[in-house]
Amino acid sequence: MLTKGPAKKVIIYLNEETEHRRNALHESIMMYLMHKGVAGATAFRAYSGFGAHRLLHTHRPEEVAQYLPIRIEFVESAAKVEEVLPTLYEMVTDGLIEVQDTTVIKVARKPGAAERRLPSKRCQGPAKLLRVFLGEADKWGGEPLYDAIVKRLRMMEIAGATVYRGILGYGAKGHEHKRSFFHPTRDLPVMISVIDAPEKIAAAAEVIEEMLQDGLIVISDAEVVRLVRSPEVLEERDAQS
């Protein structure tokens, strides 16, 4: 299964008319990748192009049947790419195979029906509570700072974060922040609350500190009791039955 971190990106360029065992080569490649458990692959039909044969392939209304270039692209772990590359090398008798180093930032997919019915597993242990106090009008790169902070926390795979909007407050400068009928767009206080493992909270605090120009960061000890949907519970039940 493809995970976050270093990976390989494979791009295959070939011609639409190229065949492999009486089938279109690009279809054979896609079937092979799916059979080998590659996380996902996409075949693109180009608008025009030329290769080593110096023959221009292009789509024109009067030439509807003109064969066009095909580009197949997929991202996988280095081990999986090493596994499938020898066969791809043999299959592509007329084309180009390119392998690039890349980094997977996020892997997300909708859970299936079986995953949604997984039982809960109880997790309990020490953690850290991070609270960030800032103003609603604070900005980062043209967007609200609290929004930018939450997005960064999601990229760091922090377990969860909640943004609270205050109705009244003041800070180190002694300025009162409140909402009223006459000042509906006043800079109200905002608090971001985050709970996670101590090492993750330390990393998050370091990132937030670089983004925060005027505010407060507070870290406290916490005890977490959490229910997690996990396949491990099913495995334990199967082992006991």
DSSP 8-state class, residue 40: -
- 77 pLDDT band, cuts 50/70/90, is very high
CATH classification of 5-104 is 3.40.50.300, yes or no?
Answer: no
Q: What is the DSSP string of 52-111?
A: TT---EE-BTTBTT---EEEEEEEE-HHHHHHHHHHHHHH-SSEEEEEEEEEE-------
pLDDT value for 65: 46
CATH architecture of 117-229: 2-Layer Sandwich (3.30)
Q: Is the pLDDT of residue 162 over 90?
A: yes
Q: Which amino acid is at 77?
A: S
Q: Where in the chain is the domain with CATH 3.30.70.120?
A: 5-104, 117-229
Tell me the percentage of the chain whose pLDDT exceeds 70: 71
pLDDT value for 191: 94
Residue 150 CB-half CA count within 13 A? 14
Q: How many of the other CB atoms lie within 10 Å of CB of 214?
A: 12
193-208 pLDDT, tens digit per residue, is 999 999 999 999 999 9
Q: Among 149, 150, 131, 127, which Cα is nearest to 140's? A: 149
Q: Is the pLDDT of residue 232 over 60?
A: no
Q: Among 193, 185, 186, 187, which Cα is nearest to 216's? A: 193
Give every CB contact of residue 63 below 8 A, 6+ residues apart in sequence.
Answer: none
Query: 232 with 121: CB under 8 angstroms?
Result: yes
Name which residue leads in pLDDT, 30 or 170.
30
CA distances from 25 to 13, 40, 152 (A): 11, 18, 42
pLDDT value for 62: 46
164-199 pLDDT, tens digit per residue, is 988 776 654 545 545 544 444 566 889 999 999 999
CA distances from 56 to 12, 45, 53 (A): 18, 15, 9
